[in-house]
Amino acid sequence: MSVVRGIQTPPAEIPPHGTSAPIYLTLITCVAALGGLLFGYDTAVISGAIGLLQIHFHLTPAATGWAASSALAGCVLGASLAGFTSNVFGRHRLLVLSGICFLLSAIGTAASSGFQMFILFRILGGIGIGAASVISPLYIGESSPARWRGRLVAVNQLAIVFGMLVVYLVNYRIHLSGTELWNEISGWRWMFGSGMVPSILLLVLLFTVPETARFLLSKGRRSEAERVAARIGPDALNEILFAEQQPEVRSRHTPRILVLGISLAVLQQVTGINVFLYYAPSIFAQVTRSTNVALLQTVILGAVNLIFTVFAMVLVDRAGRKPLLICGSAGMAIALLSTGWAITHATSSLLLLILVLAYIACFAFSVGPVTWILLSEIFPSHLRAEAMAISTAALWISNFVVSQTFPMLSQSPAVIAHFGRGFPFYIYALFCFIEVWLVAQFIPETRNRSLEEITRWWSTETPR
């Protein structure tokens, strides 16, 4: 029997490599992850359209930041409400509501006659993104037995980055379909309108999956919970039966756990990831001077993001959460420092692309997926949904701040004169080093533990 930061791990509970999830659990995971795919699609669609919107609506740098980050205001609202509403109405129904918000946003932004109307529908889409960002990993985490939970929650992150890659390809293809004038007038509308397809797919497929067994059990619907768990497999059923037999445990360290969750969520964003996801074409265009080349480089960025997220899925239940977070954050810091230097000195587009891809690779196998995994695991059972909602709302607030301030920092003559164009990337690198310290000192290893075991550990141990 081994001990990982105070959690005893019986060897029998560590699954052999190659163990695969049951088919029904895989179906549940994939459908729930479609919420993640729309999360990625809807947030990244702005990257190919932001320059066209700036021209079409004659936007200032501040207004450009608002166009990119307005959806994030909705994300904060959607995430804030997701915990309470999902506890009242269920995880499944909230995923349906998210899909409806995605669909209406895609239609509304594509048909917008003015900037204010565009912003309104982007905020509506953001509400769907915020809710899905809480519920999709929560739904998968509550449905998954301990031995598969890490890699299955990581499927949600894989879906997010796959959605981003798809929309990068869609944006690139639309941009090639017409002249610059056509893109400024209509091309960006097709970019946003394309989101109707995955939105409809999510809404249709949600009719094929049930509510989570743990939510049903929390509402006293024992027989339904056991039927759902039994369809998933014996491991899921055993964990549900174990949870039913154990008295609810409330940890005296709840405020500290919540602070750790919020810190992880905030650090995922202030380390700069969405600067590259939202503004990559603009960043690359500073060096390449070509919109087509910049959009193509963004597609490459999305492909690397996808590939290294798959690596994370393979490693997270074997190497553990902490080693991936520490190594990835350190690599991100080095890449960000180098990127800042490259942009300041206007080096070749190839070098800049390599450095950005190195950063994306480090993020994709560590901070990207592992943050969502830990947020679905570390909170005590009685407040998991609310605590995850609070942490995710903090994540979106941080995303909003970074997205809103990046154009100002990168385009401000005063900042450029004193610190160079690479200054924002040095700030993000500092936060990467802070994440290395936080994870090394305070975050427990949670792999191969059921959610109930993690809850009981917090109640009996004294976290550092």
Q: What local confidence, expressed as pLDDT, does residue 363 receive?
A: 95
Q: What local confidence, expressed as pLDDT, does residue 248 receive?
A: 56
Cα-based distances in Å from 314 to 143, 290, 300: 19, 37, 22
With a cut of 50, list the residues of the chain below it in pLDDT.
1-20, 463-464
State how far the Cα of 367 lies from the Cα of 241, in Å rounded to an integer.
Answer: 33
User: For residue 272, is it within any domain?
Assistant: yes
Q: What local confidence, expressed as pLDDT, does residue 246 receive?
A: 56
Strand partners, 4: 7
State how far the Cα of 94 lies from the Cα of 102, in Å rounded to an integer.
Answer: 12
Contacts of 168 (CB under 8 A, 6+ apart): 44, 47, 48, 295, 298, 299, 301, 302
Pair 166, 45: CB distance under 8 Å: no
State how far the Cα of 202 lies from the Cα of 211, in Å rounded to an integer.
Answer: 15
User: For residue 8, is it within any domain?
Assistant: no
**Beta-carbon-side half-sphere exposure of residue 164 (alpha carbons within 13 Å):** 31
Pair 125, 100: CB distance under 8 Å: no
User: What angle is formed at CA 49 by the lines to CA 46 and CA 50, rounded to 5 degrees?
Assistant: 75
Pair 46, 168: CB distance under 8 Å: no
User: Which tens digit of pLDDT belongs to each residue from 417-463?
Assistant: 777 777 889 999 999 999 999 999 988 888 877 777 777 777 665 54
User: For residue 119, is it within any domain?
Assistant: yes
Q: What local confidence, expressed as pLDDT, does residue 13 receive?
A: 38
Q: Residue 222, class by beta-carbon neighbours within 10 Å (0-12 exposed, 13-18 middle, 19+ buried)?
A: middle
State how far the Cα of 266 lies from the Cα of 397, in Å rounded to an integer.
Answer: 8
Strand partners, 406: none
User: For residue 222, is it within any domain?
Assistant: no
Which CATH number goes with the domain that contains 362?
1.20.1250.20
State how far the Cα of 150 lies from the Cα of 141, in Å rounded to an integer.
Answer: 8
Cα-based distances in Å from 163 to 108, 300, 305: 20, 14, 11
Backbone angles phi, psi at 7, to 5 degrees: -105, 120
CB burial of 232-242 (b: ≥16 within 10 Å; e: otherwise) equals bbebbbebbee
User: For residue 193, is it within any domain?
Assistant: yes
Count how many domains the chain has. Answer: 1
User: For residue 217, is it within any domain?
Assistant: no
Structural domain for 90, as ranges: 25-209+246-460
User: For residue 10, is it within any domain?
Assistant: no
- What are the counts of helices (DSSP H) followed by strands (DSSP E) for the chain? 21, 2
Pair 4, 449: CB distance under 8 Å: no
User: For residue 226, is it within any domain?
Assistant: no
Contacts of 417 (CB under 8 A, 6+ apart): none
Pair 367, 435: CB distance under 8 Å: yes
Backbone angles phi, psi at 369, to 5 degrees: -75, -35
